[in-house]
């Protein structure tokens, strides 16, 4: 199996994290760097449905990133209009497929993330001070190799 085919079979599909958010990786595309060694990179695209925050679960936000073997980095642009409010933030994840600590026979995608919220000048300064990003961890489990796999909204 080629590295490209391996990336497609490993990553394309529906993934869900421990909070109920859903990542759907729909495509893997080869990109060449144009350098003398002509290294291949694998770009991913898809959507993300968050189970947390101000954006409803049914809203699919765009996802893009890169994968190399069992490692991934991706970002999501969250944007939702609620009346006259423009709710938006950016989040980036980086991680690796590793044995699941709860079930070593299964693999899971373990990631670190950073979220940059929309804080207007001076808004929330007392609450957040100098903080411009929140950080955390997520563990994703692959539900299906089908990116259109039906997932029920978490309660």
Torsion-angle region of residue 45: left (phi > 0), alpha (psi -120 to 50) or beta? beta
CATH architecture of 3-144: Beta Barrel (2.40)
Q: State the pLDDT at residue 131.
A: 64
Q: What is the pLDDT of residues 7-49, one digit of tens each?
A: 999 999 999 999 999 999 999 999 987 777 878 899 999 999 9
- Of 113, 110, 109, 112, the closest CA to residue 142 belongs to 109
- Of 81, 50, 46, the closest CA to residue 62 belongs to 46
Which is it for strands 134-144 and 40-49: parallel, antiparallel or unpaired?
unpaired
Measured between its terminal Cα atoms, the distance across the chain in Å is 40
**Domain limits of the chain?**
3-144
Q: What is the pLDDT of residues 101-125, one digit of tens each?
A: 888 778 899 999 999 887 665 555 5
């Amino acid at each position: 199996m080629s590295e490209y085919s391996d990336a497609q079979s490993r990553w394309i599909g529906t993934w869900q994290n421990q909070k109920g958010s859903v990542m759907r990786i729909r495509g893997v595309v080869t990109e060449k760097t144009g350098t003398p060694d002509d290294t291949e990179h694998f770009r991913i695209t898809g959507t993300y449905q968050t189970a947390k925050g101000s954006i409803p679960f049914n809203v699919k936000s765009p996802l893009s990133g890169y994968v190399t073997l069992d490692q991934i980095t991706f970002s999501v642009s969250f944007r939702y209009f609620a009346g006259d409010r423009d709710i938006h933030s950016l989040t980036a994840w980086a991680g690796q497929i590793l044995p699941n600590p709860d079930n070593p026979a299964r693999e899971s995608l373990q990631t670190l993330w950073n979220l940059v919220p929309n804080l207007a000048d001076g808004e929330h300064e007392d609450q957040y001070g100098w903080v411009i990003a929140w950080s955390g961890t997520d563990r994703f489990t692959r539900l299906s190799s089908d990116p259109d796999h039906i997932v029920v909204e978490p309660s």
